[in-house]
Structure 1
Amino acid sequence: MINLGISLLVYTLMLLALNFGAGLPVLYSALLALLGFAGSFFLLSRRTSKQLTALMEGVQRDMQGGRTEKAIKALQSGYPLGKWQFFVKSQIEAQIGCLLYLKRDFAQAFDHLQKGFTRHWVAMAMLAICYMKRNNPEKMKASFEKAVAATKNESLPWALYAFCLDKVGERSKAIEILEKGIKKGAADDTLLANLGALQEGKKMKMKSYGDLWYQFHLEKQGTVIKQQTRAVQGRRKIVRR
């Protein structure tokens, strides 16, 4: 990456200048040059990080305004930043994959999610679901393992993992995953209730996660619409009172 290359060049030039130019011992020259390397790499990385942050803020505004296509194009314009810093391109790929997945463009989303940043748990969970839909349970599990590793104390990733395991017929494994999530500190009322449901041979209930759950498109659209309609009707009844 360019930031690393420039920093190594700074290190080399400082080492030569201090050792041969200033006549300092090699050890002292190397230590001082190392400080120059660390400082330059920090500053360059910070500059790239600020550029990426500014890009993501613009994307966020486009998403809030319902301009998904514009948001995707803006993210794609950030590809050159990937040449400067490690993991930048994979972060952009993860974001693009998530946006395409939200649009239900699962084929294109899959291509980007495969290249996504493994510490982006939402992207890894979406990738896992894509593998499930492609009848590849082993890769589904591998992707979910990355998702839960990225955020061990969050309830939803563990619940999603278990939900999909149950969906592919591995209920006992789903129970194990929920128990593991609880041990890792992700326990909440929903996770505990779902563990009890699976142990009793019942289906998991995920609607309490709200929009965070619905974004993964694991419920049929008709079901979601019915639930939203009931919620609206419920609010109307409350207003009438």
Structure 2
Amino acid sequence: MYNLLISAGTAIIVFILLKFAFHLPWWGSILIALPFFLGSFLLISRIVTKKLEAIMSGAMKDIQAQRFEKGLRELKAAFKYGKWQIYVTGQINSTIGMVYYVKRDFSNAFPYLEKGFFKNWVTMGMLAVTYMKRNKRDKMKDTFEKAVVASPKESLLWSLYAYCLSDGGDNGKAKEVLERGLKKLPGDEKIKQNLQLLNDGKKMKMKAYGDMWLQFHLESIGTIQKQQMAAMGVKRRIIRK
């Protein structure tokens, strides 16, 4: 990472000057050089972050306005900052993968999601669902495990994990996952309700998670349309002859 190399180089130069030009003891030179390393690292990080925020903001505005291709081009242009700061490339991959996934362009979403940021639980969930749809259940479980370790306080993530297990006929493991979720989120009503449904031999219900659940595309188009109509208070009118 350029940031780390530049900051370390700055600190080394300061150390050499203090040690050999000013004849300070090595420990004193290190103590003075360390703030130069931290200051340089934070300054460069701030500059790179601001540039990324500007690119991301413009790209998301285009995407929200349905100018997907333009927005995606802008996001891909941000890869040039990946060499400057740690995790930047992964975060950009996650964002691009999410855009493709939400568009239902799953084939293009997959390679970006695979290289995404492990702390982005939404895109990790999308990757796990993709593995499930490709019948790679071991990879699905591994991905979910990484996600819940990195983001243990996300109710939907635990329920999504259990839902995918239950959908594959593994209700026992699904209940274990929900029980683990309750240990991290004691009193979470959505997880409790789904655990009770599985204990009663019924299917899990994810409607309570709203649009956050729908973005994983595990509901049929008809079901999504019905839920959206219900949310808007639209009722089917009965025409009497």
Query: Which TM-score tier does this pair reach, normalised by the shorter chain?
Result: over 0.9
* Partners of 2:144 and 2:186 in 1: CA distance: 15
> Counterpart of 2:44?
44
Superposition TM-score, scaled by structure 1 size: 0.93
> Counterpart of 1:7?
7
- Counterpart contact for 1:15–1:33, Cα < 8 Å: yes
Report the alpha carbon displacement of residue 62 of structure 1 after superposing the two structures with TM: 1.8
* Percentage of matched positions with identical amino acids: 49
> Counterpart of 1:146?
146
* Segments of 4+ moved more than 6 angstroms: none
Report the alpha carbon displacement of residue 140 of structure 1 after superposing the two structures with TM: 0.4
- Counterpart contact for 1:48–1:84, Cα < 8 Å: yes
Report the alpha carbon displacement of residue 55 of structure 1 after superposing the two structures with TM: 1.8
Deviations 1:184-213 (A, max 9, x none): 016422211111000111000111211111
Bigger Cα displacement from structure 2, 61-70 vs 11-20: 61-70
Superposition TM-score, scaled by structure 2 size: 0.93
* Partners of 1:46 and 1:186 in 2: CA distance: 37
In structure 2, runs of 5+ residues without a counterpart are none
- Counterpart contact for 1:62–1:71, Cα < 8 Å: yes
Report the alpha carbon displacement of residue 46 of structure 1 after superposing the two structures with TM: 1.4
> Counterpart of 1:80?
80
> Counterpart of 2:106?
106
Instruction: List aligned pairs for 1:106-145, cutoff 5 A.
Output: 106-145=106-145
- Counterpart contact for 2:121–2:157, Cα < 8 Å: yes
Matched letter for residue 16 of structure 1: I
> Counterpart of 1:179?
179
> Counterpart of 2:196?
196
Cα 1:187/1:157, change in 2 over 3 Å: farther
In structure 1, runs of 5+ residues without a counterpart are none
Matched letter for residue 83 of structure 1: K
The two structures, once aligned, show a CA RMSD in angstroms of 1.6
Q: Count residues in correspondence.
A: 237
Cα 1:218/1:187, change in 2 over 3 Å: farther
* Partners of 1:11 and 1:230 in 2: CA distance: 61
* Partners of 2:228 and 2:138 in 1: CA distance: 34
* Partners of 1:17 and 1:233 in 2: CA distance: 72
